[in-house]
Amino acid sequence: MKKQILFTPGPQANHGEMTRENIFHRSQQSVELLNKTRDILKKIFGSEYVFAVPSSALELMNIFVTSLNKDLLLNKKIAVIWSGYWSDKIIKVLTDNGFIVDEISEDIRSYNEDQLEEYFKTTKYDLFFGLVCETSNGKLYEYETIYKVMKKYNKLLFLDAVSYAIFYRKNNDLNQHADFVLMSSAKNFLSSPGFAFLTMRKNYTDYEIFAKNTYLSLDLYWHYEQESGQLPHTFHTVLLSYIYEDLLFTYMNKKEICQKIDKLKSIVDTQMKEIGFELYNKENWDVNNLSVYVCSDGIDATKLIKYLEQHDICVGSDMAKINSFRLCISYKNTEEEINLLCKLIKDYINN
């Protein structure tokens, strides 16, 4: 395939080679790798339990949703905290699976502790879904206070952290601010696509919201792990071994990764301002590797994105419908690539 320079939220830039030799997914080597992967994820996120599943993150969210018991399904006890395009996607996964869900206004995030007390004391919802980074507009959200109050009233929080640059976080232990955290190999760990991770604050069996409604379920994965440490189906063990290395690298080199990305972000931001493009996600931009740029008047973002792709440079699409493109800087990107991107954008504008 023709090489691409990637500035997409996922997959991101990567280099090197991997062997095509296969490893048997039912062998002890494979089990040991799965165990190592689960262990490091537990350590990073302060989790008691973790599902490592060979799928995309949204497919793993779907498995979570179809594993919820019918009480949550029938009694309208689920709410999604609205944030934009991607929270609508979560609502779609829930409603397409037969759940009736309510959308909670993002205002909840500006409540003080008393207001949160008032809200959670009386709300009918038992399970809340929220995003750490709304990938469409780059907004970052904190859940520490919300979760503290939720816990007092036995509410559960599912956090989609897929588009979130975990290495920017001083304390990664996201499971201290949520019951369930969803991540992916390509987006959270600057690695290859292929694996999604669902970490849990307590052990899987400590939650009462799950039931075995379908064949493909958390229950299936849990039983396989208990019985043999294996996964239920054939998976690409060797791919996971490379993902594991990237996961470890990301965890061990947070400072170095952030420094490099900060430098590249600053170079690109200076040039974008010169071009006349405005940064949309200014708030907390310093701890995010995703930048959302709104194009200046007369420039159609979607056409610009297409032009860049024709020159083998990929950026994220205008998900928020604000005439923007989304730019994710990865540790593996280079200054040369940034300069090429900026040059191409200038060429496009001038032609």
> Where on the chain is the footprint of its own copies (CB under 8 A)?
1-4, 6, 8, 10-29, 33, 54-59, 62, 65-66, 92-93, 96-98, 184, 186-187, 192-194, 212-217, 232-239, 241-242, 309, 314, 317
CB of 41 to its own copies, least distance (A): 19
90: Cβ–Cβ under 8 A, 6 or more apart, which residues?
61, 80, 129, 131, 160
Of 61 and 116, the one with the shorter C-beta distance to its own copies is: 61
Nearest-approach distance from CB 164 to its own copies, in angstroms: 15
Contact 106, 82 (CB under 8 A): yes
Do 155 and 128 contact (CB within 8 A), yes or no? yes
| Cβ proximity to its own copies, 16 vs 298, nearer residue | 16
Cα separation, 127 vs 224, in Å, equals: 26
Q: Which is nearer to its own copies, 77 or 89 (CB)?
A: 89
Q: Give the SS3 label for residue 1.
A: coil
Q: Which is nearer to its own copies, 116 or 304 (CB)?
A: 304
State the minimum distance, in angstroms, from the CB of residue 200 to its own copies.
21
Which string of DSSP letters, residue by residue, matches 196-265? Answer: EEEEESS-GGG-SSB---SSSSHHHHHHHHHHHS--SS---HHHHHHHHHHHHHHHHTHHHHHHHHHHHH
**Shortest distance in whole angstroms from residue 207 CB to its own copies:** 20
| Euclidean distance between CA atoms 117 and 319, whole angstroms | 34
Q: Which is closer to its own copies, CB of 135 or CB of 175?
A: 135
Q: Which residues contact 167 (CB under 8 A, 6 or more apart)?
A: 250, 253, 254, 257, 258
Token output for 199:
């970490």
Shortest distance (Å) from residue 195 CB to its own copies:
10
| Alpha carbon distances (Å) from 250 to 53, 64, 188 | 19, 26, 9
Cis geometry, peptide bond prior to residue 11 (ω within 30 degrees of 0): yes
Nearest distance in Å: CB 275, its own copies: 23
Which of 17/144 has CB closer to its own copies?
17
What single letter denotes the amino acid at residue 350?
A: N
The CB-of-246 to its own copies minimum distance in angstroms stands at 9
Beta carbon nearer to its own copies, 93 or 181: 93
